[in-house]
Amino acid sequence: MKIDLHKIKIGKVIAGYKDSAEEGVVAYSGKLDIRPKYQREFVYKEKQRNAVIETIKNSFPLNVMYWMIRDDGGYEVLDGQQRTISIGQYVNGDFSLNDRFFHNLTKEEREKILDYELMIYFCEGTDKERLDWFRIINIAGEKLTDQEIRNAVYTGPWLSDAKIKFSKSNCAAYLLANDGGQLVSGSPIRQEYLETTLSWINDGKIEDYMAKHQHDKKADELWQYFQDVIAWVRKTFPNYRREMNSVQWGELYNEFKDKKNDSKKLEAEIKELMQDEDVTKKSGIYPYILTGQERHLSIRAFTDRMKREAYERQDGICPFCKKQKKDKKQWDIEEMEADHITPWHEGGKTIAENCQMLCKEHNRTKSGI
């Protein structure tokens, strides 16, 4: 990674300052993307914003900023986005400080602000170096999300098209996933819809997928995949419940999309499990009824009192050790774990009468751990 320090006056940095909402914020005579399309909207609070201007007006040092040099010779703000936007908005007359807008200041006061030198590091490197650097420098202020960092590295026509579908307020992905009940959690602007879909389509290898498609003209494959996932969910589970918004649907779609499912039979199972007080994670019902893995359900654990009662009833003896005539049959309670005598999936409840204490080895062998 190559890093060079530059001193640039505010007047030059904010030349051509333009804020077009979700389309991004530009300056430096059109060469600087202060807030590119891939990043969320301005998030500084008034107190933070005003502090930036007060610092400049008093000629106090402002923290250094970092710009990334793009392949086309332009720049993107790596660190310092909120400070730069605060400056641009103030000079642009978007807000006042102490009841004085920028145009209300004296000529000398305005020139003092415009002549203030910002300390800016220009950064240049490979995709991997840029990604690592983004993560290292993303330590102060309003942090970028992991997906915002990835977007900053893998810019190109593919990403621009993907963001139109996944990263705007009321974008196509958001509207589709919420038509009939929310199926994807998070915010498009925070890049959570894009991140989720990228993770689904490539088994969690988001950066590999973005690197492979960075220079594609369209994100049609990603968009079609998302539509297929949502359509499969609506068909397989037509009765919407709010717990469905936190299910990793893409993972289930990838594994079960070609399996024929009886939606009515699945609904009956879901309804029964929703009423089971031992199931503490209701959203886990959906992956459970497809995979059969109880870990998705977070079955209610036995209380310490139940464990103690079972331990005393057994005199600290593991029934499996006793049956196998192990040399050591009796254990301290800390060396044992609670187990359902009648398994939960066979109708066994998490009650004292159905609790037994097993040594850790036998409990984990029985549980398949």
Q: What is the pLDDT of residues 33-56, one digit of tens each?
A: 998 665 555 567 899 999 999 999
Which residues form the domain of 252? 160-296
Residue 184 sits in the same domain as residue 212: yes
Assess whether 95 and 172 both reside in one domain. Answer: no
Q: Is the pLDDT at 139 greater than 90, yes or no?
A: no
Average pLDDT, the chain: 91
How much is the pLDDT for 159? 92
pTM of the model: 0.67
Q: Using 50, 70 and 90 to split pLDDT, how confident is the model at 125?
A: confident
200 shares a domain with 123: no
- Residues 9, 148, single domain; the answer is yes
Task: Using the 3D structure, point to which of 101, 133, 152 is the last residue of a domain.
Answer: 152
Same domain, 262 and 329: no
Tally of structural domains, the chain: 3
Are 307 and 338 contacting, i.e. CB atoms less than 8 angstroms apart? yes
Which is it for strands 75-79 and 32-35: parallel, antiparallel or unpaired? parallel
Judgement on whether residues 9 and 147 belong to the same structural domain of the protein: yes
Kind and range of the H or E run holding 119 = strand 117-124
Contacts 24+ apart (CB under 8 A), 251-258: 251/200, 251/287, 252/286, 252/287, 252/290, 253/200, 253/228, 253/229, 254/200, 254/203, 255/290, 255/291, 256/290, 257/228, 257/232
pLDDT digits (tens, 9 = 90+) for 92-122: 999 999 999 999 999 999 999 999 999 999 9
Residue-level pLDDT at 22: 59
CA dihedral (84, 215, 167, 30) in degrees, to 10, reads: 30
**Last residue of one domain, picked from the residues 244, 279, 296:** 296
Residue 347 and residue 234 share a domain: no
The predicted pLDDT at position 151 comes to 87
Looking at the fold, whether 106 and 206 belong to one and the same domain comes out as no
20 and 127 both lie in a single domain: yes
pLDDT digits (tens, 9 = 90+) for 47-94: 999 999 999 999 999 999 999 888 888 998 888 888 999 999 999 999
Same domain flag for 287 and 238: yes
Q: What is the mean pLDDT of residues 211-217?
A: 95
Residues 24 and 42: beta-carbon distance below 8 Å = no
Question: Do 30 and 131 lie in a common domain?
Answer: yes
How confident is the model over 250-269, as a mean pLDDT? 96
Give the C-alpha separation, 274 to 58, whole Å: 62
Pair (177, 147) in one structural domain: no
pLDDT for res 304: 94
| Domain C-terminal end among 247, 266, 296 | 296
